[in-house]
């Protein structure tokens, strides 16, 4: 037995197979972001496990048409829109020589099922839903086309093929659009936890690491920061990042009289960014919506809590009251800054919050993300091989099962668990205690699976969002789902 999540979804289970990734940018693109890092980190771990990985992606100015990056073959062609046509032609020319496809939807899908054989497993990966962004960034006709492609078009073409969302919020948004296919949650990872926290600034300081784009709504943050600064005259804010909104935001800071309190650092190397972040008292987010809060978890790794609006994605990455605070109404954000800084001024409270943040960040590793996505691919490969209705085998329900490891099961090891668990399930063993998250099964189905394993006494209850995100064995896992236990 191991002390890590189940090895039945180990990337080595895909060794020798050829996986295609469709993504609009690769990690070396000048506008690459979290979506590109997500698939790159997972892809390079697949490569290290003996998987052949190819990307079809767009081509940025100065990029080669073909390149090997960390063992990943990257084939580039087309711009922001033309890449989809070029990807379609590449798919037609491949004649289906891939074992599985990860089709990353960044607003506009690749519609890969139209160009590949029906027996090729395709998993559609969605970071966040763009319906509102289409309305704010494009003309009404173009926005209508984008909304159609992301919703009705995608539902029609992909049908019941499995989907992956990076957070429960994104899964909920997809359900609101009417997607009925199985939707698995595979959260982002983080690079790692620094060995120690840094000495924080003498003055109460907020650090924000963000692209300066409209939907991040840093103008709202500046306005509410000005409200808080009236009560906290020594309040400071560092903004790290660049983008088309920078000039307007700098002018707004001047108009609000915040030049002395707010510093725009622009884009900075990782070491400078981390130094500014790690010395801050907290970070903040007034974004309209995200798929997941990458910057929130990166700050948490340094022991820095986050004050944020309760919006999709961000509300998943902040454990309210433990790793930060969620605010329901934007107009209350300034008062919330004052309350949070007042709480963090007490050294004991700051130490407790910092520890909670780092423990939360430890739940999110790229190794775990890789295993989870591998499990989804393996389940789809099995589905194609064995046939069957995907909806009969999966739902949004997940169940947390906890029990003491019987001696007879310890002798059998991982192979015994394989008989009752699916590739998308997770388990962890620590100090003789087993925690299992059974994906797509209710308490009754989980109880039946335990009987097949020979486990006669277990705590079984519905797994909430925190459990699903943190994984089995985490101190955060049972925090939101302690009711409904059965023996």
Instruction: Give the residue carrying structure tokens 């909670």.
Output: 356
Q: Could you tell me how many helices (H) and strands (E) the chain has, helices first?
A: 18, 18
Tokens of 42: 């997972």
Residue 63: closest CA among 114, 8, 101, 25? 25
What value, to the nearest 5°, has the Cα angle with vertex 338 and ends 332 and 341? 135
pLDDT at 287: 93
Domains of the chain: 7-185 (3.40.50.2000), 205-361 (3.40.50.2000), 397-480 (3.30.70)
361 neighbors 171 (Cβ within 8 angstroms): no
pLDDT at residue 388, rounded to an integer: 63
Pull the structure tokens for residue 442: 């209710």
Predicted local confidence at residue 391, as pLDDT: 54
448 φ, ψ to 5°?
A: -65, -40
pLDDT at 231: 96
Q: How far is CA 59 from CA 5, 53, 64, 125, 367, in A?
A: 37, 18, 8, 21, 28
Chunked mean pLDDT (size 10), the chain, 487 residues: 54 94 94 91 97 96 96 94 93 89 92 93 92 76 86 93 93 93 94 89 96 93 97 97 95 96 95 95 94 93 97 94 96 98 96 96 95 94 72 74 74 59 86 87 89 85 87 69 33
d(CA 174, CA 150): 10
The whole-number pLDDT of residue 479 equals 44
* pLDDT at res. 146: 84
Residue 333 neighbours by CB under 8 Å, 6+ apart? 220, 221, 224, 227, 286, 307, 309, 327
* Radius of gyration, alpha carbons of the chain: 23
Strand 72-76 to 52-57 pairing: parallel
- Rounded distance between C-alpha atoms, residue 367 and residue 360, angstroms: 16
The structure tokens 């990807």 sit at 87
For residue 394 the two structure tokens come to 């999966």
Coil, helix or strand at residue 360:
helix
**pTM of the entire predicted model:** 0.90
| Burial degree of 477 (CB within 10 A; 0-12, 13-18, 19+) | buried
């Amino acid at each position: 037995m191991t002390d890590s999540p189940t090895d039945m979804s180990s990337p080595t289970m895909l060794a020798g197979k050829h996986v295609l990734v469709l993504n609009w940018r690769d990690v070396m693109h000048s506008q690459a972001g979290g979506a590109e890092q997500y698939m790159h980190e997972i892809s390079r771990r697949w490569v290290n496990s003996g998987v052949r990985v190819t990307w079809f992606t767009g081509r940025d100015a100065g990029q080669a048409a073909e390149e090997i990056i960390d063992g990943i073959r990257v084939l580039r062609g087309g711009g922001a829109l033309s890449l989809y046509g070029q990807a379609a032609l590449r798919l037609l020319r491949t004649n289906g020589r891939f074992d599985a496809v990860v089709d990353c939807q960044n607003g506009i899908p690749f519609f890969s099922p139209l160009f590949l054989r029906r027996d090729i497993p395709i998993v559609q990966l969605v970071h966040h839903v763009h319906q509102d962004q289409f309305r704010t960034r494009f003309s009404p006709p173009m926005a209508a086309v984008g909304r159609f492609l992301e919703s009705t078009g995608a539902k029609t073409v992909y049908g019941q093929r499995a989907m992956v969302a990076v957070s429960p919020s994104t899964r909920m948004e997809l359900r609101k659009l009417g997607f009925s296919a199985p939707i698995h949650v595979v959260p982002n990872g983080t690079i790692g936890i620094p060995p120690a926290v840094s000495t924080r600034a003498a003055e109460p300081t907020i650090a924000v690491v963000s692209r300066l784009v409209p939907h991040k709504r840093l103008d709202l943050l500046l306005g509410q920061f000005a409200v808080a600064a009236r009560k906290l005259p020594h309040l400071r804010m560092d903004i790290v990042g660049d983008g088309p909104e920078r000039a307007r935001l700098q002018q707004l800071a001047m108009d609000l009289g915040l030049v002395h309190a707010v510093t725009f650092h622009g884009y900075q190397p990782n070491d400078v960014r981390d130094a500014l972040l790690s010395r801050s008292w907290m970070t903040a987010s007034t974004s309209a919506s995200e798929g997941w809060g990458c910057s929130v978890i990166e700050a948490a790794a340094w022991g820095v809590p986050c004050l944020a609006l309760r919006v999709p994605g961000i509300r998943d990455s902040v454990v309210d009251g433990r790793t930060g605070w969620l605010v329901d109404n934007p107009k209350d954000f300034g008062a919330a800054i004052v309350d949070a800084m007042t709480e963090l001024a007490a050294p004991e409270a700051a130490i407790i919050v910092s520890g909670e943040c780092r423990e939360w960040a430890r739940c999110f590793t790229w190794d775990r993300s890789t295993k989870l996505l591998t499990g989804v691919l393996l389940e789809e490969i099995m589905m194609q091989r064995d046939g069957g209705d995907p909806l009969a085998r999966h739902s949004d329900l997940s169940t947390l099962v906890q029990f003491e490891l019987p001696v007879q099961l310890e002798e059998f090891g991982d192979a015994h668990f394989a008989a009752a668990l699916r590739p998308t399930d997770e388990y962890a063993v620590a100090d003789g205690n087993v925690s299992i998250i059974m994906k797509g099964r209710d308490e009754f189905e989980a109880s039946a699976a335990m009987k097949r394993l020979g486990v006669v006494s277990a705590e079984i209850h519905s797994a909430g969002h925190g459990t699903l995100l943190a994984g089995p064995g985490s101190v955060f896992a049972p925090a939101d789902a302690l009711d409904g236990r059965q023996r």
